[in-house]
């Protein structure tokens, strides 16, 4: 019989280590301009869902011009890249805080083998990028009728 000792302290310590690693990844790309404002420390939020016949991806890219968005598929990995530029400098009294991040971003997603990459479509409207990733015909679900014999 083997005795296993469980120590909740070490489990919490491991969780803390994981959280610190996540935080470190956030600050890895952090850049600060001469005023101390944050640059390049952002990543757009993304929703991905499967409709059965296709996979859909929606990315929030507010304040980004269509020409500053780069979408690529390489080795079944979809990569979104872009840059959000600071639109103007504010030098007025009463300007207390800057929270929006600026700079480059890159997000990559492994695609299932069922996606037909030659038929991917992209649409960009009101700061939301919509990608439709159709599945290959052989990958789409098929209803099979069960016969009673």
The beta strand positions in the chain, using DSSP E, are 31-32, 38-39, 46-50, 54-60, 69-74, 77-84, 103-110, 121-125, 128-134
Predicted local confidence at residue 142, as pLDDT:
75
Residue 14 lies in a domain: no
Question: Does 146 map to a domain?
Answer: no
In a domain, 43, yes or no: yes
Q: Tell me the CATH number at 71.
A: 2.60.40.790
pLDDT under 50 in the chain at which residues?
40
39 located within any domain = yes
Q: How much is the pLDDT for 23?
A: 64
Q: What are the two backbone dihedrals, phi and then psi, of residue 71, each rounded to the nearest 5 degrees?
A: -120, 125
CA distance 117 to 111: 9
pTM listed for this prediction: 0.64
Has residue 114 been placed in a domain? yes
Asked whether residue 149 is assigned to any structural domain, the reply reads no
Amino acid 79: pLDDT: 94
pLDDT digits (tens, 9 = 90+) for 84-121: 887 666 666 666 666 777 788 999 999 988 899 999 99
Domain-located, residue 118 = yes
In a domain, 93, yes or no: yes
Can you give the pLDDT at residue 89?
Answer: 63
Domain count across the chain: 1
Query: Residue 95's domain spans which residues?
Result: 32-139
């Amino acid at each position: 019989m083997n005795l296993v000792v469980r120590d909740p302290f070490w489990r919490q310590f491991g969780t803390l280590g994981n959280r610190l690693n996540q935080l470190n990844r956030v600050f890895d790309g952090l850049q600060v301009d001469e005023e101390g404002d944050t640059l390049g420390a952002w990543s757009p939020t993304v929703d991905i869902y499967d409709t059965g016949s296709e996979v859909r991806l929606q990315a929030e890219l507010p304040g980004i011009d269509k020409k500053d968005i780069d979408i690529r598929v390489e080795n079944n990995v979809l990569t979104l890249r872009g840059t959000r530029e600071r639109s103007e400098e504010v030098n007025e009294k009463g300007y207390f805080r800057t929270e929006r991040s600026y700079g480059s971003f890159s997000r990559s997603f492994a695609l299932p083998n069922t996606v037909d990459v030659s038929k991917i479509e992209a649409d960009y409207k009101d700061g939301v990028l919509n990608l439709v990733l159709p599945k290959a015909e052989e990958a789409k679900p098929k209803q099979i009728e069960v016969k009673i014999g």
